[in-house]
Amino acid sequence: MPVVNFTIERLYRFLPGIDLNRVLEVLPFIGLDIEGIDSEVLRIEYNPNRPDFASDYGIVRALRGLLGIEIGIPKLKIDKEINTYCVNVDKSVCDTRPYIVGLIAKNGKLDNSTIMQLAAMQDDLQNGIGRVRRKASIGIHNMDVIRFPVRYCTVNEDFSFIPLKQESRQEIKSILKTSNMGKEYSHILEGVKRYPIVVDSKDNVLAFPPIVNGNTTKISTDTTNLFIEITGNNIKTVEDILSILAITLYDAGFDLQNVTINNFDGNAYTPRMDVSYIDTNTSDINILLGLDVQVNEIVGCLQKSRLDATETRNKKIIQCVIPRYRIDILNYVDIAEEVAIGYGIYNFKPTIPYTTLVGQKNLTSTFINIVRNTMVGLQMLEIVNFSLVSKKIQYDLPGIREPEKVPSVIATKSREHEVLRDMLIPSLLKSLSRNIHEEYPQKLFEIGKIFKWGQNINEYWSLGAVVAHNAADYTEVKSIMQTLLKLSFGKSVTTKVASHPVFIHGRCASIIVGDESIGILGEITPFAIDNFKLRVPVAAFELNISKLLRN
Amino acid sequence: MVDDSPQLHPIEKLLLKRLANSDHISIEKLVETSDLSVDQVRRGIEWLKFKKLIASIDKLYVVISLGSNGFEACKEGLPERRLVNAIKNGYTSVASVLKSGFLKPDEINAAIAIAKRNNWIQFTQLQNGDKKFLSTAEADFLSCEEKLLQKLVKLNSSVQVSELSSEEKQAFELLKRRPKYIVEDEYKYSEIILLESGRRLTHTMYTDTDNLERKLTPDMIVSGKWKDARFSSLDVMAHVPYLYAGRQHPLIDIIDEVKEIFFSMGFTEIDGPVIQAGFWNFDVLFIPQDHPAREMQDTFYIAGAKQDDFAHPDQIKKVSSIQEKGWNSDWNIEDARRLVLRTHTTSATIAYLANNEPQSARVFSIGRVFRNEKVSYKHLVEFNQVEGIVTDKRITLRDLMGLQKEFYSKLGIKKIKFWPTFFPYTEPSLQSMIYNCALDKWVEMGGMGIFRPEVTHPLGIKNPVLAWGVGIERIAMLRFGLNDVRDLYSNDLGWLRNLPKCQL
């Protein structure tokens, strides 16, 4: 989950005279987790549905609401400028990265802490809703060195410019192959023939999205006027991000002006910060939350969550007003959550719902418990292991040949978790090998799922058991196994000669119940015993419980 | 006639025999000279005392050893001895003795006083008024103090005061006055004495023939010989080995307990496969197809596995349409087909709702879930999760909180609070925080919420559905006081064999 570093100095700057303890109390009730706190910084973790919390400005906005300092829709003013700041979009970008939006932010003050917040926000937005820059990437530029109109067009791979933090020009093809940003994000431009760039009328390159920005427009603490551009392959995402940046920069003290986007198929003025409206039935909200709150109080709760609502002719229905940057509000359930937050989650008194329903056990669980209890009664100790295991433990060490088709997973982070077990005995042997310094006899069992390829991957419940001590042998495990079946299910069992690589040849049998073979039994081969570093003989059996229960 | 002696334990008989031979004896000596261990002797003494056959007296003895100054004095000689040596070397006045180096200035007065007392020196007054020393014949002999010091050095160990001769005792008293010459230590010990009743018993014991049976055999029972048999007593306090009992795994104990809590709250258990099409694990839950959690970094995809008939065409149509509308992007059926290892048990409960469309239900599912993560002390790749859902015509957020409180209360967790959080498939969503007394802080336990209409409507569910989930291992770690989640799967027999079943 993404984290914001909120310096305490800035907290007091934005909320003068605030009690820090009150802030710490309230933050979790806005859905923000306090990851850590020291004398200088609050580390706050936020959920990905609220990208407006990606900077401390967003957190302050919400705090002001819940603390009652400033309620309702946050103020926002954008000067409508037609054709002053234009971005001309070339048709060629349609095939690579079709969408661009922009914003002008003037007369602001950028100190180091603000630049850090904006940079962190930029990263979080690009990685989060920008889906690691594929859907959208952001450029924040020093407006004063830009000569408008700006052009959004494409160039070929030989085109060169000076990328951010470099001193000399580099060709696009070289940037893609050799720079860090190039290596990380070039896959987004795979297969394109011409590369998108944002360039001004002096042919200064502002950006080569989504890879890297140009060096001429980089910002510093001296910058007071900003040009923001967002490019991407999803129009909603680029506009969502722009709206979040707009409210953030407004809160940071900038004067906002719009940008004219001249597309080949018409003009647009960005950012579009129109609020949206959702008609909501207040009864629905009360019913969902379990409250019985008057309409005006519901409106008050929404205002504390920085939304608003007006009553309509229908007394039950309110028209909720949603600011553009709240991209998480989709329908009435989201409104209900905002009401709950404004009401204060700490104010909800839990209730116990009564029911006429009675609980019932699952049949498979019941049978498995019978097997488990009988095994415990036979003095066997239960262990638990993972279903996802390594090939080494499942096949190599026991000396079993890996089947042609094994249920396995892709891109595992560790060799310990590559394949799904098709039998339990190897895991049991591994557990024995972890306990060679404990006293013998060791008599262990496990009940777990096994997986085998059939038409699809079939899942079965299996029981595996091992006994390890100086005199462990076939007779002992057969006694345990047949007692288990007799005592649990009243079933008689026969054993027929069988062979399996994990058992000594000639000392292995299949377990037959009715007419069906449901398991295997025998003395473990010394090859496996030695590989697992054991020093005593081991006998084992494994039963397919699912097959047994089908009868 | 009642014969007392068979009622004596073999240990008691041994001790009585020993005491009959020498009846004032310390416990330490008893242990040394009998074949019994310290524990056995102590126990025997207690029993005999209780039976009023012996009594014990607490005694004290004092030992002395050389102190640091005493040790020095042995090497250099006592001050009065050095004075005599000085005199014999021709230093016969106080002034010259001081200059000679035999004595330090602060030792002179004491040396003269003690030498006078020992009758080792004499004064003669000179014509000019000075005093002149002479040594006597007695000075050629060792004083009693010197003898005692020499003895202590030679023995190189401590000596009991009670074992000193009267002359040595006198020397001891004198040396005690000098600082750090002698170190005294006190020791307590118990002396056992045989009482008259005990002595009488030892007489009858001698004449007792040893015809006590050790074991009751089937033959004795069947033949009737038991009627004439007497049995020897056993050392009932002797150590015996522990057995290795069969036992359910502690994690399964927790799972059973959680199941019982759900049953008691009216929930029915359901089960589901661990491998599912992405459709049921993600798409149905309104998780967009480009959500980061769906990537291979976080989810396990099964190699070479897709499912063709993963859902009714009608369900697919409804869910895909909600996905496209809600996330404003194309929906790809191939992504939904791919088989994954489920990342939460929510996919089991949601499949139940989809296939049964109940008006009112309480179901839960416990099982393994999988996350493609790095294993650490708090994260596993594979773990157990329980998910409960409640649906009814009228069911609210407050009911959800109430159910949670009830659930955790039955687990023994009384302090709980709720904070808002986010899940893609529930709104509102909350997380439950419980108070961990051992760590003295609030920790996150589980998540909960009301399913979004985007999830329930395509499946034909019109009533609200409450849902909550919690990791079983988390509960187990709290209950068993573990700091590393991996301990639950290490199958360490030392832990499993010794962990008490009752953890309340």
Q: Tokens 């002053």 correspond to what residue? A: A84
| pLDDT, tens digit, 9 for 90 and up, residues B196-207 | 888 887 776 654
Which residues in chain A are contacts of B249 at CB distance < 8 A?
382-384
For residues A139 and A134, give the distance between their C-alpha atoms in angstroms, rounded to a whole number. Answer: 14
Instruction: Name the minimum distance, in Å, from the CA of A28 to any CA of chain B.
Output: 6
**Mean pLDDT of all residues in B28-32:** 83
Burial (0-12, 13-18, 19+ Cβ within 10 Å), B156: exposed
Output the CA–CA distances (angstroms, integers) from residue A134 to A137, A156, A167, B291, in the order listed.
Answer: 7, 20, 27, 13
Lowest mean pLDDT among A264-278, A443-457, B196-210: B196-210
* Contact assessment for residue A335 and residue A328, using Cβ atoms and an 8 Å cutoff: no
* Cβ <8 Å between B273 and A459: yes
pLDDT at B23: 65
Instruction: Name the minimum distance, in Å, from the CA of B401 to any CA of chain A.
Output: 5
pLDDT at B1: 31
Residue count of chain B, please give it.
504
- B150 Cβ neighbours under 8 A, 6+ residues apart: B74, B142
pLDDT at B329: 83
Taking each helix axis from N to C end, the angle separating B250-264 and B397-410, rounded to the nearest 10 degrees, works out to 130
Output the CA–CA distances (angstroms, integers) from residue B303 to A390, A423, A451, A484, in the order listed.
Answer: 15, 19, 13, 37
Closest CA to A122 of A207, A55, A205: A55
Which residues in chain A are contacts of B492 at CB distance < 8 A?
434-435
* Cβ <8 Å between B491 and A236: no
Instruction: Name the minimum distance, in Å, from the CA of A376 to any CA of chain B.
Output: 4
* Cβ <8 Å between A388 and B300: yes
Which residues in chain B are contacts of A355 at CB distance < 8 A?
266, 360, 362, 392
Closest CA to B487 of B479, B475, B495: B495
Helix (H, G, I), strand (E, B) or coil at B190: strand
Q: Tokens 């039963």 correspond to what residue? A: A543
Which residues in chain A are contacts of B402 at CB distance < 8 A?
350-353
Q: Tokens 């050389």 correspond to what residue? A: B66
* Cβ <8 Å between B302 and A337: no
Q: Tokens 């647009």 correspond to what residue? A: A268
Which residues in chain B are contacts of A443 at CB distance < 8 A?
244, 246
Burial (0-12, 13-18, 19+ Cβ within 10 Å), B129: exposed
Instruction: Name the minimum distance, in Å, from the CA of B454 to any CA of chain A.
Output: 10
Q: Which residue has the higher pLDDT, B157 or A292?
A: A292
Select from A29, A285, A348 the residue whose CB has the most chain B CBs within 10 Å, as the one to mutate to test that interface: A348
Which residues in chain B are contacts of A353 at CB distance < 8 A?
390, 392, 395-396, 399, 402-403
Which residues in chain B are contacts of A340 at CB distance < 8 A?
397, 420, 428
For residues B358 and B391, give the distance between their C-alpha atoms in angstroms, rounded to a whole number. Answer: 8
**Amino acid letter for position B410:** K
* Cβ <8 Å between A135 and B271: no
**Mean pLDDT of all residues in A80-102:** 92
Which 3-state string (H, E, C) describes B401-422?
A: HHHHHHHHHHCCCCCEEEEEEE
* Cβ <8 Å between B422 and A47: yes
Instruction: Name the minimum distance, in Å, from the CA of A125 to any CA of chain B.
Output: 13
For residues A388 and B77, give the distance between their C-alpha atoms in angstroms, rounded to a whole number. Answer: 84
Burial (0-12, 13-18, 19+ Cβ within 10 Å), B369: buried
pLDDT at B6: 52
Which residues in chain B are contacts of A382 at CB distance < 8 A?
246-249, 252
* Cβ <8 Å between A442 and B421: no
Which residues in chain A are contacts of B328 at CB distance < 8 A?
234, 236
- A177 Cβ neighbours under 8 A, 6+ residues apart: A183, A186
Closest CA to A318 of A284, A279, A289, A291: A279
H or E segment to which residue A502 belongs:
none
| pLDDT, tens digit, 9 for 90 and up, residues B225-261 | 999 888 877 778 788 888 999 999 999 999 999 999 9
Tokens coding B283: 């798409």
* Cβ <8 Å between A457 and B305: yes
Instruction: Name the minimum distance, in Å, from the CA of B380 to any CA of chain A.
Output: 10
* Contact assessment for residue A401 and residue A501, using Cβ atoms and an 8 Å cutoff: yes
For residues B213 and B502, give the distance between their C-alpha atoms in angstroms, rounded to a whole number. Answer: 41
* Contact assessment for residue A467 and residue A539, using Cβ atoms and an 8 Å cutoff: yes
Q: Which of A31, A49, A408 sits opposite B303 (nearest CB)?
A: A408
Instruction: Name the minimum distance, in Å, from the CA of B297 to any CA of chain A.
Output: 7
How far is C-alpha B270 from the geometric centre of its chain's CA atoms? 41
For A27, name the nearest residue in chain B, comparing CA atoms only. Answer: B419
**First-last CA distance in chain A:** 49
Which residues in chain B are contacts of A236 at CB distance < 8 A?
328
For residues A226 and A218, give the distance between their C-alpha atoms in angstroms, rounded to a whole number. Answer: 10
Instruction: Name the minimum distance, in Å, from the CA of A287 to any CA of chain B.
Output: 7
**Mean pLDDT of all residues in A283-289:** 96
Does residue B186 surpass a pLDDT of 50?
Answer: yes
With a pLDDT cut of 90, the percent of chain A lying above it is 93
* Cβ <8 Å between B328 and A349: no
Select from B247, B374, B396, B404 the residue whose CB has the most chain A CBs within 10 Å, as the one to mutate to test that interface: B396
Provide the mean pLDDT of chain B.
88
| pLDDT, tens digit, 9 for 90 and up, residues A395-407 | 999 999 999 999 9
**Amino acid letter for position B323:** Q
- A483 Cβ neighbours under 8 A, 6+ residues apart: A374, A378
With a pLDDT cut of 70, the percent of chain A lying above it is 100
| pLDDT, tens digit, 9 for 90 and up, residues A205-236 | 999 999 999 999 999 999 999 999 999 999 99
Which residues in chain A are contacts of B302 at CB distance < 8 A?
407-410, 457
* Cβ <8 Å between A372 and B252: yes
Does residue B490 surpass a pLDDT of 50?
Answer: yes
φ, ψ for residue B243, nearest 5 deg = -95, 160
Q: Tokens 């004032």 correspond to what residue? A: B24
Q: Tokens 């005999």 correspond to what residue? A: B48
Burial (0-12, 13-18, 19+ Cβ within 10 Å), A93: buried
Q: Which of B249, B290, B382 sits opposite A382 (nearest CB)?
A: B249
pLDDT tier, A184 (very low <50, low <70, confident <90, very high otherwise) = very high
Q: Tokens 């005493």 correspond to what residue? A: B70
Other beta carbons within 10 angstroms of residue B376's beta carbon come to 10
Burial (0-12, 13-18, 19+ Cβ within 10 Å), A265: exposed
- B498 Cβ neighbours under 8 A, 6+ residues apart: none
- pTM of the entire structure? 0.79
